[in-house]
Structure 1
Amino acid sequence: MRTSVGQPVRLVDYRVPDFLIDEVDLDVSLDRTATRVVSTLIIRPNPAASDGAALTLDGDELTLVSAHLDGAPLDPEAFQATPAQFVLPNPPRGRFTLTIETRLDPASNTKLMGLYRSGSAYCTQCEAEGFRRITYFLDRPDVLSTYRVRIEADREEAPVLLGNGNLEGKGEAETAGRHWALWTDPHKKPCYLFALVAGDLAHISDAFVTASGRKVDLAIFTEHGREERARYAMEALKRAMAWDEKAYGREYDLDVFNIVAVSDFNMGAMENKGLNVFNDKYVLASQETATDDDYANIEGVIAHEYFHNWTGNRITCRDWFQLCLKEGLTVFRDQEFSADMRSRPVKRISEVRGLRAAQFPEDAGPLAHNVRPEVYSEISNFYTATVYQKGAEVVRMLKRLVGDEAFRAGMDAYFHRYDGQAATVEQFVGCFAEVSGRDLDRFMRWYRQAGTPKVTVRTAHDPAARTYRLEIAQSLAPTPGQPTKLPATMPLALGLVDPEGGDLPLVSADASEAELASGVFVLDDAERVIVFRDVARRPALSFLRGFSAPVTVDDDLTEQDLAVLSRHDPDHFNRWQALQSLVTRVLLRGVKAIRAGRAPERNAALVAAFGALIDDARAGRIDPAFAALSLALPTEADIAREIGENVDPDAIYAARKSLRGALGRKHGDALADLHDWLADARPFSPDAESAGRRALRNIALALYADGNIIDGLARAHRQLRDADNMTERFGALTQIVLKPSSAREHTSDAFSRRYAMEPLILDKWFALQAHIPERETLDRVRGLMSHRAFSMSNPNRVRALIGGFTGNHTQFNRPDGEGYAFLEEIVVGLDPTNPQVAARLLTAMRSWRSLEEIRRGHAEAMLRRIAVLPSLSPDVRDIVTRSLG
């Protein structure tokens, strides 16, 4: 499909591969600078393609050593080979064997794609187009093959040799001091799921017995001395395996399942068949080193990669445009798993916060794209929040529309019908249309249209007629390449809350019995009117319960309505949302006041709502984790998104700081009491209830310190001293570092020295330094680039420090443009060695057009300076071009 590097690839141009590769036999002889790869491919013409095509295999910076056809050396005149391609102009018309030998230099592979070195180990990353950096191949996901892989290495350097599938044999190599292992994978897979790992690794072992009684050997491999920190990940894996059997009837299908944790990794983790490779931050955890968020992320990511075994591996994508078919679906599955393992309302709130923070800005800016894109220049730039998070929301809507029973039947049909195939979004959605009998053509617009729909809601209560009229309309603003948008089917869950509390019965002639019973109303068209009967008093409308559709809402709720909902809504998500909406309104007025030179107002309803929430938390009437989320004010980025244009980050910061200070002072005694009450003498546990108490204790400390700085810092120092876990320790450090004091530098430096040998903790520390809301922070970040623990070659360090700084709303968006110039310097310097990470950093500019004029000018100038550079990678050029487009 791609004719040359960097040229656009279009969905409409898809055509089946001219050739199929049925079997792949790899012989990989590992060496730090001269790895030998012998690839033997059993190839045949694709009967679904036209005859007479040349065989063109993809490559990327490859060095060809030799090529053989059916065992005989190929005449150099019979093929063409460059580092990017291997072309056989006149291949045999039937089945044939092509053997190609290439040489690789893993030690110099700084792109971390293909085969590279991570610490003391050899590692691979092949999604999306990394396999072509190992050997010439038809590097596309619809070419499915069985793999037999022999790995040879120096025994002392790499005593552990791991591959996909099952271990078939192992032994001593002919060369002294070297050994080999043979791995076979009986399931056909695309080459992006190929993996090998070799090194001197420690491991823990366990086993899982499937529902049908098969024993599966489990192992997690780590650096020596860190293997015991993988115990929680192992337990999470077993929980995920059991859950997938119960929820979807999906058993694991190999004899072994291996996970390897590496420290140098561009992504979070990779679902290679039977051999998952993880960024170690999503595997390693202990009471001393991991926060509760780390534990939750480990559980979710372990589950996500395991669930890919069926939604991604057994059924893969026909092409990369269908990426959401595996990623969005699997994110939905891991979200549901985590909701079952923890608190479902809290999990839902966390998901929506993440969606709004990452995906909504993407939809609102120049990087907007469909959940199923129609064109791309570099597929690595489309591993986005839209594909993953919005893709999951689309699956969630589908489940709400068809119902639980039909959704499970549709998934069963999908697994049965497309097992072992490369599928499309249309085939997936078609299964649900078939089992439910619903017309899902308009629902498919969620996959085809970019942008976040806005749902406008207007209400009218007629006390004489005892009716409550609801007018709902949807609209979708133009995005690049899509000037006209059409209405999409969406489920809108709602309820009518009585001012005294409790839901009113839903009675209407404008809705189906199923809608009235479930409270989920379907909006198929641009508008819909629903008149509810028997409504004596004006209720508070609880709209979009559970965030039933990924939309923004323009409603006419009063602040009194929001106060009622924040106390009485039976839907926990909307109870949280009501308080967030009330805070947002107050903050928006505060921003306007500050920009006009006035002091922000004090809102009595908001102060009272926070007080009631603190009282409920102290009395144990609500889940501590829910209370913690509710007490957390919308972020500066949240408020900037609500403003939408002419954004002044300094005014937003000032308004938010003022409100937090006011709430902390007003409720200081209650917050201090709550903080003391939550001190836990019980032994540490990472379970959801204990994590919720720690989260609430940290937020109580933060609010208290914002309103009572001297006493708050004293509390923070005591918590830092007494804490027996990283959640409370780092929560205390955060308050100390973010507030100026004579002890800040000493305390921060002492923390970094204490954890000097803990890279994952230092990542948190680097990110915290980058978030200090002071003008000196940019100089601090520059200085930290010389820190002994910082390395530009490690993606985790770069994301922590540089990525952390781009999330510092005031200092990155400095009115002098120096924050943007710093990012430009980093991106241009990093691009030659790791273009993927460089491109991801540059996406921090996705919302530059929403800034006020001076900042907007600096941002545009920075992007244009990068755009004219002649030697940009395709990854970075794609992002900068779309950002300016």
Structure 2
Amino acid sequence: MREGTTTLVRREDYLAPAYWIRTADLTFDLDATKTIVSSKLAIERNSALPVQPLRLHGEDLNLLRVLVDGQSVSFRHEDGLLVIDAPAADAFTLEIRNTISPEKNTQLSGLYASGSGLFTQCEAEGFRRITYFLDRPDVMAVYTVTLRGDAKKYPVLLSNGNLVEQGTLDGGKHFAKWHDPFPKPSYLFAVVAADLVAREQWVRTRSGKEHLLQVYVTRGELDKTEHAMNSLIASIVWDEARFKLPLDLERFMIVAVPDFNMGAMENKGLNLFNTKYVLASPATATDVDFDGIESVVAHEYFHNWTGNRVTCRDWFQLSLKEGLTVFRDQEFSMDMAGSPSARAVCRIGDVRALRERQFPEDAGPMAHPVRPDAYQAIDNFYTATVYEKGAEVVRMMNTLVGREGFAAGMALYFERHDGQAVTCDDFAQAMADANPASALAQHLGSFKRWYAQAGTPRLNARGNWNAEAATYTLTLSQQLPDTPGQSGKQPQLVPVALGLLSREGQALPLQLQGEDAPQGTERVLVLTEAEQSFTFIGIGAEVVPSLLRNFSAPVVLDDGLTDADLLVLLAHDSDAFNRWEAGQRLALNRIKAALGHGEAVQLDAPFVEAMRSLLREPGLDPAFKDLALTLPSEIYVAEQISDVDPQRLHTVREAMLDQLATALQADWAWAWDEHQVQGGYRPDAEQSGRRALANKALAMLVRAAALSGEPVWPGKAYQRFKDATNMTDRLGALEALVGAHHELAQPALERFYALFRHEPLVLDKWFMLQARAPEKNGQVFAQVKALLKHPDFTLGNPNRARALLFVLAASNPAAFHRTDAAGYVLWADKVIEMDAINPQLASRFARSLDRWRNLAEPYRSAAREAIARVAAKAELSSDTREIIERALQD
């Protein structure tokens, strides 16, 4: 069907292709102005379908020639497709010749120019911007690619698979021929032609085979590739050890690209990466950057099997590869972290991201199932729901079948589907079939509703202790809220990991009614109905339930616990996630109370003392303390209330920070002194945790000093900023000054710019730091507007646009949501401006106002007016129009 001028694609309308492409021989004569693409495709008719014309996708192509079995044929263009009447033969060779202009491709989709090089990005539907093709994931072909180009301009010529041949040509040109033996869909195709240098490393896998690993970067950046290479090696070792999945090509290549819409792309054997996730040195990258590189390198490498060897039948199944691979990279990161507390820090970070990005998505106009039912522009469904919630669905499977059972399910999945394009149902079925006695297999239909039903389930838990019977009955119920296009939803399988603590904090043995003996102090209850009760026996005193341990399901929990209960969990829970969660809920309760009463927040002594005890507790990991002493973000708090006044919320949270800074001033000073790192820089969990807590202590001390006018700690922060030997400490000191709006912040910012103006990724940090500074009297918004005119700012580079505009709109509510609507005016202007250059970037920026209906007046009406102004633009891309129209739907 059509809505306006945009086609709505529905999952229920899926049909297998009328033709298969078995092999693709491609030749590129590369030039930034005009690249000539010649393709020779071996095509077979799908005998299961009626005979019909061949319809090929193509966008912004200049067609020169079409031949079938060497003969010219007639063709026509219909609705953006190249249509060729059905050839007489069931199998035939199709040859196409066309030209494209990479330097005019500002969308960064297809073949485009970045700097002096040429690069590709084909997921989801970029290959059709290179040549005419069946550009859909269920058409898998074996590719042979010949690249020809100027030897000086493009000394490196790369494509997927193994290098077959290379040599020189007349006229100062050279060529390289690549062959990928594994059938793949067109979205995994890649080409690189540029002046690059490579870090190389040979590795031997468990089979005894030698493989060449290469990380390509622009000249002058090679010294920043060691961590990326080490991360790749660690990923290869881990995947073979954990899941018995080996590297399957002679070589594996990573290429860093400065202009890139995404974080990275898993093209078979030739991964293209945003430079942000490759380049790192202690002087230019923070601990967070090092962690990000390790995680993203792992994610893209793990796609080699979960996404490449087995791929998606259609784009509705995107979470088949993305949700599964996010889960795998999360598991890898936790294994790399090592200690239980460091693993918990990883898990807390993942859940914070889920709650701040995916839960609002579930509650807004773009709410969609993990496996969507329809889309206008597939690029809009690279979402937190598909990725992060999809990963939580996979994690629940892992919880239900256990680590060994999950590995068995993975093995069966590849045994059945290697080399195929399949569905989310196929993966779930393999997991169930490999674990027939599991709750997953017994309730598979209920579990698979996680793929089909949008929205975040509400889990209600209430306990009743019967002193006479010495029992504790826990009643769990679930409710799934209505979302756009979905209502009246059915119960889903919810695994609830729990423990029971005495009032003194002692973990109690857990024995359900009907069982012969206790089964440890932690277990998983399986909720499959709208409401179920579970009775534990042998409970001789009142208990505090610790529910949803390690965040065992992506739900909103209402357990009715009091502050006294939460203080028990904060002090004693053996589950690090729930210990952190208890602290967050105590802080949230105080923020909400202040907002509800309309009064100034005044922190109570029990809360302050609990925070002090946590900070001082010797057995806790410093990284955990840093997270536990971080107040819930304004973004997260806004999702817990209605009629949000961003200015009022900001004022309340800042007042709480001020009080924590002053009340714990001596404790912060202790934390600063005790957590200095001695020796050389290492981005490992131990050092990173110490730096994180020391930098938080410094920020709080500078905040307290700014309130009192005391000059010592701001002076120490400025000195730290100047003397720091790594970017984590330098940026931490700068953030402390900027966050307190201290007078030393400006000279520090100027010095930072002078030091790093020629380091693009570091300059992104400079823009970002100013965009996310706590708003004060409109200063931050005014500074962002000034920075838009800075000579180093450009909308053409996605990283730079994200560093300034995205951070303002998505991460700094008080600076963006203004009573004079200036933030919304800026948003509308930039959405329209971006859309003309890069629709993918524009549509993502447009989502900053997804939750406008949750705002109080006057923000709500002003935000709607800005969205309507964008909607009125007739020439919007389909990517951006889908977001805007859905935002306005009642």
TM-score, normalisation: structure 1: 0.97
Task: State the SS of the aligned residue for 1:546.
Answer: coil
Correspondence list, 1:246-285, <5 A: 246-285=241-280
Matched, 1:209 2:210: no
**Which range moved further: 444-453 or 775-784?**
775-784
| Mapped contact 1:221–1:261 kept (Cα < 8 A) | yes
Partner of 1:629: 627
Q: How far off its partner does 1:441 sit? A: 0.6
| Mapped contact 2:474–2:533 kept (Cα < 8 A) | yes
Matched, 1:338 2:333: yes
Partner of 2:818: 814
Partner of 1:293: 288
Structure 1: runs of 5+ lacking an equivalent: none
Partner of 1:706: 703
Alpha-carbon separation, structure 1, partners of 2:824 and 2:516: 54
Q: 1:51 to 1:260 in 2, by over 3 A?
A: same
**Which range moved further: 61-70 or 151-160?**
61-70
Q: Which amino acid aligns with 1:541?
A: P
Alpha-carbon separation, structure 1, partners of 2:728 and 2:823: 30
Correspondence list, 1:264-663, <5 A: 264-342=259-337, 343-437=342-436, 438-439=441-442, 440-509=444-513, 519-593=523-597, 596=598, 598-616=599-617, 619=618, 621-643=619-641, 645-663=642-660
| Mapped contact 1:59–1:83 kept (Cα < 8 A) | no
Q: Which amino acid aligns with 1:277?
A: L
Task: State the SS of the aligned residue for 2:509.
Answer: coil
Correspondence list, 1:48-63, <5 A: 48=48, 50-63=49-62
Structure 2: runs of 5+ lacking an equivalent: none
Partner of 2:807: 804
Alpha-carbon separation, structure 2, partners of 1:764 and 1:233: 20
Task: State the SS of the aligned residue for 1:176.
Answer: helix
Task: State the SS of the aligned residue for 1:651.
Answer: helix
Matched, 1:778 2:781: yes
Correspondence list, 1:161-240, <5 A: 161-173=157-169, 175-240=170-235
Alpha-carbon separation, structure 2, partners of 1:574 and 1:715: 35
Q: How far off its partner does 1:357 sit? A: 0.8
| Equivalent residues, number | 873
Task: State the SS of the aligned residue for 2:640.
Answer: helix
Q: How far off its partner does 1:5 sit? A: 7.2
Q: 1:592 to 1:426 in 2, by over 3 A?
A: same
| Mapped contact 1:646–1:850 kept (Cα < 8 A) | yes
| Mapped contact 2:25–2:39 kept (Cα < 8 A) | yes
Alpha-carbon separation, structure 1, partners of 2:8 and 2:447: 27
Task: State the SS of the aligned residue for 2:279.
Answer: coil
Partner of 1:843: 847
| Mapped contact 2:509–2:521 kept (Cα < 8 A) | no
Correspondence list, 1:713-728, <5 A: 713-728=714-729
Choose from 694, 707, 715 the match for 2:691.
Answer: 694
Q: How far off its partner does 1:321 sit? A: 0.2
| Mapped contact 1:511–1:521 kept (Cα < 8 A) | no
Choose from 134, 138, 141 the match for 1:142.
Answer: 138
User: Deviation digits for residues 673-722 of structure 1, max 9, x if unmatched?
Assistant: 11022122211111111011111111112223333324442332132123
Task: State the SS of the aligned residue for 1:797.
Answer: helix
| Mapped contact 1:64–1:81 kept (Cα < 8 A) | no
RMSD: 1.6
**Which range moved further: 322-331 or 62-71?**
62-71
Choose from 100, 104, 109 the match for 2:105.
Answer: 109
Q: Which amino acid aligns with 2:636?
A: D
Alpha-carbon separation, structure 2, partners of 1:513 and 1:479: 43
Q: Which amino acid aligns with 2:615?
A: I
Aligned-pair identity in percent equals: 45
Q: How far off its partner does 1:512 sit? A: 9.9
Alpha-carbon separation, structure 2, partners of 1:815 and 1:794: 30
User: Deviation digits for residues 164-207 of structure 1, max 9, x if unmatched?
Assistant: 0000000112x310000000000000000000101110111001
Alpha-carbon separation, structure 1, partners of 2:248 and 2:620: 42
Alpha-carbon separation, structure 2, partners of 1:511 and 1:475: 29
| Mapped contact 1:649–1:809 kept (Cα < 8 A) | yes
Matched, 1:676 2:673: yes
Task: State the SS of the aligned residue for 1:606.
Answer: helix
Task: State the SS of the aligned residue for 1:344.
Answer: helix
Q: 1:583 to 1:151 in 2, by over 3 A?
A: same
Q: Which amino acid aligns with 1:398?
A: M
Give runs of ≥4 in structure 1 deviating > 6 Å. Answer: 1-5, 510-517
Q: Which amino acid aligns with 1:800?
A: A
User: Deviation digits for residues 298-324 of structure 1, max 9, x if unmatched?
Assistant: 000000000000000000000000000
User: Deviation digits for residues 544-592 of structure 1, max 9, x if unmatched?
Assistant: 0000000001111111111111111000000111111111101111222
Alpha-carbon separation, structure 1, partners of 2:105 and 2:516: 60
| Mapped contact 1:27–1:151 kept (Cα < 8 A) | yes
| Mapped contact 1:763–1:797 kept (Cα < 8 A) | yes
Partner of 2:36: 36
Q: Which amino acid aligns with 2:608?
A: V
Q: How far off its partner does 1:518 sit? A: 5.2
Partner of 2:85: 89
Q: 1:3 to 1:669 in 2, by over 3 A?
A: closer
Alpha-carbon separation, structure 1, partners of 2:600 and 2:62: 67
Q: 1:717 to 1:128 in 2, by over 3 A?
A: same
Q: How far off its partner does 1:770 sit? A: 1.1
Alpha-carbon separation, structure 1, partners of 2:669 and 2:183: 59
User: Deviation digits for residues 579-606 of structure 1, max 9, x if unmatched?
Assistant: 111111011112223xx3x322322221
TM-score, normalisation: structure 2: 0.96
Task: State the SS of the aligned residue for 2:836.
Answer: coil
Q: 1:180 to 1:515 in 2, by over 3 A?
A: farther
Alpha-carbon separation, structure 2, partners of 1:228 and 1:295: 14
Q: How far off its partner does 1:728 sit? A: 1.1
User: Deviation digits for residues 10-50 of structure 1, max 9, x if unmatched?
Assistant: 000000000000000000000111100001111010123x2
Q: Which amino acid aligns with 2:209?
A: R
Q: How far off its partner does 1:821 sit? A: 0.9
Q: How far off its partner does 1:817 sit? A: 1.3
Alpha-carbon separation, structure 2, partners of 1:664 and 1:754: 31
| Mapped contact 2:509–2:518 kept (Cα < 8 A) | no
| Mapped contact 2:446–2:528 kept (Cα < 8 A) | yes
Matched, 1:767 2:764: no
Q: 1:517 to 1:435 in 2, by over 3 A?
A: farther
Alpha-carbon separation, structure 2, partners of 1:771 and 1:716: 19
Matched, 1:790 2:793: yes
User: Deviation digits for residues 137-157 of structure 1, max 9, x if unmatched?
Assistant: 000000000000000010000
